[in-house]
Structure 1
Amino acid sequence: MRPRLLLVTDLDYPAAGRPEYRDEDLGLAARLRADFDVALCHPVDASALMAGFDLVLVRNSGPVLRYVDQYAQFRREALAAGAKVFTELSGKADMAGKQYLLDLTEAGFPVIPTVDRAQDAHRLPESAEYVVKPKLGADSVGLRFLPRTELPDGTDHLIQPRIDFAYEVSFYYVDQTYCYALHTPDPALRWDLAPYTPTDADLAFARRFVTWNAVAHGIQRVDACRTREGELLLVELEDLNPYLSLDRVSPATRETFVAALTDSLLRMLD
């Protein structure tokens, strides 16, 4: 029997700036059928269905904020059953919330400086505006730009200085292996991406976060911004359901990525 793969996706999620959001997973499912028996399901159905499959591949499932309880149940049941989930649930970055940005700030990693209390804003670089976003946020859901005098109380949000950056760049990994990079020629257009050729220093920057996360089987996207001074700072480390922008890479790069993904999924079964 061929391995049975449950691909968790939300084909109806209205992804801002990405009308092809659903198409990416439909195309990926078609390609993976060469090696797996594939079924697609919505994230709220994953707990009920995963026992009938050998592998669960979490892909473009949208922000967890829309189904917090169901996601928590999925994690509990998958861990208890020893289910093979890709990306594996040991990830310490976005799949566990945004606490890691606070932890990495404290540890001195090159990240956008982050606090979670208004009274700690003095620890951040001075800024005319601050970025405020929920700890369980994704895809800019709940993101606000506020002056320091209006920063919210409580610890449910992250607070960061609003960085004047030249562009954003994303590095895409399967397991610990670098696959490709894309950047935003126009920083105002987050999803208008173009291929990017990283330097050795760029790859060393991204590798530092992938190594920290220590994920053996999974997809990771290291999102960074290039400051006007030339420094790279981490924006987020997406290890739950990173959109891959496979339509923005060459056919050869796309095939290489899917081959690496297929190989990792098969090795996870072993």
Structure 2
Amino acid sequence: MPLLYVTDLAYPARGRRYGDEDAFLTARLREHFPLALCHPLDAERLMPGFDAVIVRNSGPVLHYQEAYDSFRAAALTAGTRVYNPLTGRGDMAGKQYLLDLTAAGYPVIPTIDDPARLAELPQVPSYAVKPKQGADSIGLTFTAHPSGPAGEILIQPRIDFAYEVSFYFVDDAFQYALYAPDPDRRWELAPYEPKGADLEFARSFIEWNTLRHGIQRVDACRAPSGELLLVELEDLNPYLSLDLVPPAVRDAFVTSLTGSLHSFLT
């Protein structure tokens, strides 16, 4: 079954090399599937010639929102198989999930979208304010007095966390974890050995998202209290940092992804 692999090989991502990662992944996937690469702006036009579309390192949708919305609508109308499936409840659907998870009592950085509700957040010297439709920290500011149009921004307490850590999954199977020991250098990652409680934390969000197939990354921070808090649930096109994991772990990830795709396509 031929796959259309969507990537922006030249996207200038800070601390990440999209092109290198996708060159590696497509070389390995080509052993199992015929495939072709395309830029996200060409995906809608090209997808009728393929059995499925796999969206990988295509960059923040914010930069091509109209084209992505059109691609998504066309895929849903035609019944085109898209991997990750378009039913994700995380970043794929916007940032509403941070509000929903806060309301449901999940271990997430408390989030509101209306300055009038500031009393619902912990009192801190500074708050993070960012556009509700943002990505990659675009438009992020820190202020002691959050303001902005209700429903269009996200407000969170600024947390003096110890480090950030990411958990990578294929379907519901944990693959590996990486963390940034220095909070000021978030893209300088190192392997992380999760404890049982860490994996239980990450799996709770994978289960909440209910995606039967796909690649997901659960981003969290270690709060001063010692607990993990969700920062982001990336279920659209998470960068995988495969160059930072041992060869055996990388090979196991490719095996899991190949199996997931075979299951998804059949």
The bucket for the TM-score relative to the shorter chain is over 0.9
Distance 1:17 1:127 in 2: 30
What's 2:29 paired with?
A: 32
Residue 96 of structure 1, CA deviation: 0.4
RMSD over aligned Cα atoms: 1.0
3-state secondary structure, aligned to 2:106: coil
Out of 107, 112, 115, the residue aligned to residue 110 of structure 1 is: 107
User: d(CA) in 1 for partners of 2:90 and 2:190?
Assistant: 25
Q: Which residue of 1 aligns with 2:157?
A: 161
Q: Does the 8 Å CA contact 1:174/1:220 hold for their aligned counterparts?
A: yes
Per-residue CA deviation, residues 89-110 of structure 1 (Å, 9 max, x unaligned), is 1100100000000000001000
Asked whether 1:89 is paired with 2:90, we answer no
Q: Which residue of 2 aligns with 1:63?
A: 60
Match of 1:131 in 2: 128
Structure 1, residues 158-213: CA drift from partner, whole Å, max 9, x if none?
A: 11011110000100000111000001111111111111111110000001000000
- In structure 2, what is the Cα distance between the partners aligned to 1:261 and 1:189? 29
- The CA deviation string for residues 2-26 of structure 1, in whole angstroms up to 9 with x for no partner, is x2111111112111122x2221111
* Structure 1: unaligned runs, 5 residues or longer: none
Matched, 1:143 2:136: no
Give, as a single letter, the amino acid of the residue that structure 2 aligns with 1:190: R
In the superposition, the TM-score normalised over structure 1's length comes to 0.96
C-alpha distance in 2 between matches for 1:254 and 1:179: 9
Q: CA deviation at 1:147?
A: 2.0
Q: Structure 2, unaligned stretches of length 5 or more? A: none
- 1:193 and 2:176 aligned: no
Distance (whole Å) between structure 2 residues aligned to residue 197 and residue 68 of structure 1: 36
Separation (CA, whole Å) in 2 of partners of 1:146 and 1:109: 25
Mapping of residues 193-212 of structure 1, within 5 Å: 193-212=189-208
What is the count of residue pairs matched by the alignment?
A: 266
Instruction: Compute the displacement of 1:84 (Å).
Output: 1.0
Distance 2:121 2:70 in 1: 36
Q: Give, in whole Å, the separation in 1 of the partners of 2:49 and 2:124.
A: 52
Structure 2 matches for 1:204-243, cutoff 5 A? 204-243=200-239
Mapped contact 2:8–2:57 kept (Cα < 8 A): yes
Matches of 1:266 and 1:142, distance apart in 2? 39
Q: Distance in 2 between the 1:209 and 1:225 partners?
A: 14
| Pairing partner for 1:80 from 77, 80, 93 | 77
Please report how far the alpha carbon of residue 229 of structure 1 lies from its aligned counterpart in structure 2 after TM superposition.
Answer: 1.4
Deviations for 1:18-60, whole angstroms, at most 9, x for unmatched residues?
A: 2x22211111111111011121111111111111111211111
Quick one: which amino acid aligns to residue 17 of structure 1?
G
Q: Work out whether residues 64 and 137 of structure 1, in 8 Å CA contact, stay in contact via their aligned partners in 2.
A: no
Instruction: Give distance in 2, aligned partners of 1:49 and 1:144.
Output: 39
Q: Distance in 1 between matches of 2:200 and 2:48?
A: 39
Q: SS in structure 1 opposite 2:74?
A: helix
Would you say the 8 A contact 1:8–1:60 is kept in 2?
yes
The 8 Å contact of residues 64 and 136 in structure 1, kept in 2 or not, is answered as: no
- Share of identical aligned residues, percent? 62
TM-score w.r.t. length of structure 2 = 0.97
CA distance in 2, matches of 1:31, 1:141: 33
| Cα separation, 1, equivalents of 2:130 and 2:257 | 31
